[in-house]
Every structure is written in structure tokens, then in C-alpha cells.
Amino acid sequence: MSDIEPPGFTFDLDEEPIDAVVRIGELGIPNLDSWMFEHDIVELCTAVKGKMLCRLFEQGADKVVYIDPDIAIFSDLSAIEQALDTHDVVLTPHQLKPDTDPAVIQDNEIGSLKYGIYNLGFVAVSSRPEGRRFAEWWRDRLLTFCFDDVPNGLFTDQKWCDHVPALFDNVLILRDSGYNVASWNLSQRPISIDDQGTIFAGDKKLRFFHFTKVTWAGEIMLERYCGNRIEVFELMYWYRSQLDMRAPKGLPPRWWAFDRYDSGAPIPKAHRTAYRKEQWLRVRFPHPYASGPDSFEQYMYGLG
């Protein structure tokens, strides 16, 4: 398998506002087909982050700032670049202040205990030795343990970074309410817009907003925690209009290159889990996407 495009869709880098694309096959991950198959789409998209971070440092980057694709930037981030002059890792916590409402504590503070204290939709890292040490540690953990398995203490790339302040030096926990605002922290960061059109989160200028799951859970959480303020829904309306305006032509909704066997049959989550947990399956079927006689697909459906 490799990065592929659906019929009727062509990705043209010259027409996109980005400088370069790195295909997953260029990251040097051993046993790539087998490794990819173990992950669903969220797990795979987060599992490559550490490897890409190390690649950028190997190519000469001094500072790397990662921003999730569902984040919109509303004002300059020069303070992040400046912070990396003196800190090697910058993280943003989900919550900045204790809540008192039991429902909010359940949703947000206990939610952070399950899914991670820090929001890894953003991370900034310097190329100095301690930053590289973090990058290599995170890369190695994600290559082996980047799964959505909350009962066993894992939540993709994010839960690992609960360890970071204890394991690494020169870590900045950025406790500014304008960074990484999201539906789950609005109870402490109400959105407002002044007469000049400047957007604030709490008493700080909004830097970037994380529009996670805007089509379902995200909007429910916005309604729950907006404090009867409409400004955050203006942001949501703007964001959705941007998504519609910039939607790639010819790309089927929710399409992912690695969600099917070569036969075209969808890959159930149970197939990926079984393949991940049983070493002998990975040895017997090193190319699990393949179809036909003596394939992993045939084996799994044969079991049914």
C-alpha cells in the first residue's frame, strides 16, 4: 500500500497554499504496511507526528510548531517562536483553572485524566539537545503505542505527554487562555469580540481555536459551555464556511486511503485490533491489505 488518491481526484501542490507534502512512505517506518494496518485513521494521523518532528530536525529546522488541521489561527504566534529561544518544549493544558460545577468537572477535568492533560493539537519544540531528546522519545512511543485505548492508559499521541514535565527539562506550560481554545474549555475562556473586531478568550486575545468534531460533539459542547454567548457560534459559522469554500473538488466525504482491503471491502476495527495484538498474525501476513487466497482478509472473514 502507499498514499493513493480516489478516482476522479488529483492533488495538485501548485494549487495549494502549502510548501510541500511528505508521503508516509518517505518517513522510513519499518514494515510500513503492517504498521499502518494496526491503526485507525485518528491513530495513524497522530502516530506519524513524532517521526515527522524528527525528520524536520534532521533537515535542519531550529524550531518546529505543530498545529492540528482543525485549528484556525486568529492572531500572531510570535510569542511561541520567542518562547523556543529559552524553552525546549511548549505545551498547552486543556484546563487553566479549577471548576466547581460537578458536571463541568466530569466533562472536562475527569476527561483530561482520561485523554491527557495537554492538548497535543499544538506542540512547539526546539532543536536543542533537550528538544531532540523529547522528539526522539515521543517518536519511539508513538511508533509502538499510539492507540485509542483509554482503559489501558493510552489515548493516541496525547496521553504520553502527561509525562513530559517530569521527564524533560526546559518545558513551558503555556497558561494563556488565548491558546488552544476549544469547546471543552470554554467554561473558563468565554469568547468575546470588542468594537474593533478583536476576539478574546477570557481576558486574553484569541490566538487559535481548536474546532474539534465541529459537526457533532464539538457543537454540543459549545452549546453547553458558551455561557449563553453567541460569539463562539460566529466563529463556528465562519469556520464551516471556510471548510465549504476550500473543500477539495472530487474528494469523497470521509474518504481515507487505508480503510479498505485491496478487494474494496472495508476493514473492520476488530480486524485491526486482532492484527495488532497477535504477533503471529503479523508474521504470517506481512501485507495485511492484500486480498485473495491465503490473505489476512480471507483468514479473518473465514473465521466468521
The single residue listed with the C-alpha cell 485490533 is 273
**How far is C-alpha 116 from the geometric centre of its chain's CA atoms?**
12
Q: β-strand 181-182 against 208-210: which pairing, if any?
A: parallel
Query: pLDDT tens for residues 223-267?
Result: 666 667 788 888 888 998 998 888 887 788 888 989 999 999 999
**pLDDT, tens digit (0-9, with 9 covering 90-100), for 59-93:** 999 999 999 999 999 999 999 999 999 999 999 99
pLDDT reading at 10 higher than 90: no
Amino acid at 166: A
Average pLDDT over residues 279-303: 93
pLDDT digits (tens, 9 = 90+) for 200-221: 999 999 999 998 876 655 567 6
Comparing C-alpha atoms, which of 209, 272, 294 is closest to residue 34?
272
Q: Averaged over 176-202, what is the pLDDT?
A: 91
Q: What is the pLDDT of residue 215?
A: 60
- State the Cα–Cα distance between residues 247 and 294, nearest whole angstrom: 40
Residue 11: predicted pLDDT? 76
SS3 annotation, 227-239 = CCCCHHHHHHHHH
Query: How far is the C-alpha of 222 from the C-alpha of 182, rounded, in Å?
Result: 8
Average pLDDT over residues 278-292: 95
E-strand ranges in the chain read: 63-67, 71-73, 89-91, 122-126, 148-149, 154-155, 171-173, 181-182, 191-193, 199-201, 204-205, 208-210
User: What is the structure's pLDDT at 304?
Assistant: 45
Per-residue pLDDT tens over the stretch 114-170? 999 999 999 999 999 999 999 999 999 999 999 999 999 999 999 999 999 999 999
Q: Is 251 within 8 Å of 9 (Cβ atoms)? A: yes
Amino acid 225: pLDDT: 66
C-alpha of 274 from chain center: 24
Rounded to an integer, the average pLDDT of 263-289 is: 95
Q: What is the pLDDT of residues 14-63, one digit of tens each?
A: 888 888 889 999 999 999 999 999 999 999 999 999 999 999 999 999 99
